[in-house]
Structure 1
Amino acid sequence: MKIVSTLTPLAVCAVRDAVSYHERLLQSETLRNRADYEAYAVDLSVFLDEITHQYQKIEASLGLPLHDFFESDVPALAYPRKEDDTSDPAGKGLDISAPYAMLMVSSVRDAMLYRESLLREEASQESLRDQQAYLAQLAKLFEWVKDEYRKIESKVGAPLERILHLP
């Protein structure tokens, strides 16, 4: 799976948010099968390290240093991008291996769950609007990632429905 350069910052932040989401889950006292969640959280952290490292290799060509958006509360608003631009003329996106493609799909879903939980906690109207805008961008990324995953689904061997726990 190839994440196009225009979606790369958002994809990196989605995985970061998924890590945060699972860190919160691990703090829950009602969590069952803690070992499974701990192992998954480790896998996500390794994946985040991998795509962060890949991003650092291409950040100069993208003109957007990782620190400009990665540490932002609402990272998607920290970088300019056209709404429906998913082209990649220079081919400078992220290469996601087949096993990590499953994590990419679930990471974007988990990032959306994490951001939805933050929406419930937000107090200021400005912050609420920013979070909603970011969540809308994550939703678009989620649709794009699912479409890309479907292209390699047979190679990966895990149906999208199983990754997303759909009937």
Structure 2
Amino acid sequence: MFKIFIIISILFLNSFASDIKTIEYKGDIDLVLGDFSKSNLDTICGFSYPEIYKIWKKNPTFTSKDIENCSELLKEYSQSLGFYRAKIDYEIKNDIATINIFKNEAIKVSSIKVEDEYKKFVNFKKDEVFISSKFSESKKNIRKYLNENGYAKADINAKAYVNLDEYKVELIYIITKTNFNISVI
């Protein structure tokens, strides 16, 4: 009997928990398209809404924990695009959550150290905004080139040194070619 009372009490108290029905993004956001558009930010946070023509489906509701998680995801996302000093916070009033995004200045590449043979695979230039996906892509391009030229066992030691004090990134690519020899016994 006591267990039933506890379960009913929890369900009753949960009915008073305020569900968040609307999420607004304010600050440095893109209107329609771009990395910081509402639809892209919703995708980053894992929020999905029914298509407009599906009028029989209800819009989702969210909890304060959902909004807190979204805020953390947006911080990580901002950093991946080079905005390491982004300020992201939120406030919840009634059934509306407002997420404030201020990108601030993007971190830039201060130097690139790579052998001439591989420069064409590095997608960065000095003073360009550092985007982590472009750095990963450059490593993949170098690996592909080495594989195609008989260096499948080559060692690629590529590092992006992010200095938040001086607010700059140094890219260093050290490639050690190793021939893959097959000997006949």
Using structure 2 for the length normalisation, give the TM-score: 0.23
Using structure 1 for the length normalisation, give the TM-score: 0.25
The structure carrying a bigger helix percent of its residues is 1
Task: Identify the structure with bigger relative contact order (alpha carbons < 8 Å, sequence gap 6+).
Answer: 1
The structure carrying a bigger strand percent of its residues is 2
